[in-house]
Amino acid sequence: MAKTLAGLKIAITRPRDQAAPLARRIEQAGGIPLLFPLLDIAPAQDQQALREQISRLAQFDLAIFISPNAVQYGMAAIRAAGELPQNLKIATVGQGSAKALRELGIANVIAPTERFDSEGLLALPELQDVAGWRVLIFRGDGGRELLGDTLRARGATVEYAACYRRSKPQQDIAALLDASPDAITVTSSEALDHLWQMLGGKACVALRDTPIFLPHARIAELAKQQGWQQVQLTGSGDDGLLSALIAWASKRQHL
């Protein structure tokens, strides 16, 4: 790969154990990845409730995994109890999650190919006629209710299975400020909120002109509301982030 990001410091704010693939690709492009995780991910606290839901998995028609974390922790819990029921349909909202499922040997995954969110999944033909279906949604502790509410409105019975939990890591914002990143990548609204809380007062001024790369329009809109001056909406996943970073770096070189 050409050294298209040569010498540029790129902050990666994903959970630490999920940052390595993007960091490696940034290094391959000549960039300097700065790991500054804004979320910690851990197994759900109530494992008994999760095990109880998984024990009834054969009664469901559809299981939805809301994120790569849901795939990782949900499938680990499922496989600890057995295997996926043969007739269970599997869906997810994003291509990263779909890829994670395929890597676990799950071939037929219902997933959007354009808009990678709950709205994109709900627009698919496969999820229109769900009256009478039982649906189990694997997710973290809390989150948007749109998916479940819409499927219920279409006649499905919906349960949420909390298979992981998110928390705010102990981080010193001074470490990020001292590193003076040339760009920042943020992949969730919750992580962006954490960053903004850490950037209270004068610190906001220090970073608000730094280009911030975000893979979803909803996160980008939040960034604009917060006052970030260079909001860069990217494609989904590592490919989308890297393509946008390279395009920005190329344009920057020609200024």
100-119 tens-digit pLDDT: 999 999 989 999 988 878 89
- What is the model's pLDDT at position 114? 83
Q: Is the pLDDT reported for residue 17 higher than 90?
A: no
Q: Please state which of the ranges 3-7, 26-30, 204-208, 229-233 shows the lowest mean pLDDT.
A: 204-208
- What is the model's pLDDT at position 202? 59
* Pairwise CA distance, residues 150 & 153, whole Å: 5
pLDDT digits (tens, 9 = 90+) for 181-221: 999 999 989 899 999 888 885 557 778 899 999 998 889 99
- What is the model's pLDDT at position 147? 95
- Average the pLDDT over 37-54 and give the result: 94
Q: What are phi and psi of 218, to 5 degrees?
A: -65, -40
Provide, rounded to the nearest whole percent, the portion of the chain with pLDDT above 70: 97
- Average the pLDDT over 86-98 and give the result: 92
- Average the pLDDT over 140-168 and give the result: 93
Domains of the chain: 9-38+171-253 (3.40.50.10090), 42-166 (3.40.50.10090)
**Over the chain, what is the mean pLDDT?**
92
- Average the pLDDT over 83-110 and give the result: 93
Closest CA to 53 of 104, 88, 96: 88
Which residues, 6+ apart, have CB-to-CB distance to 104 below 8 Å?
71, 75
Supply the pTM of this predicted model.
0.81
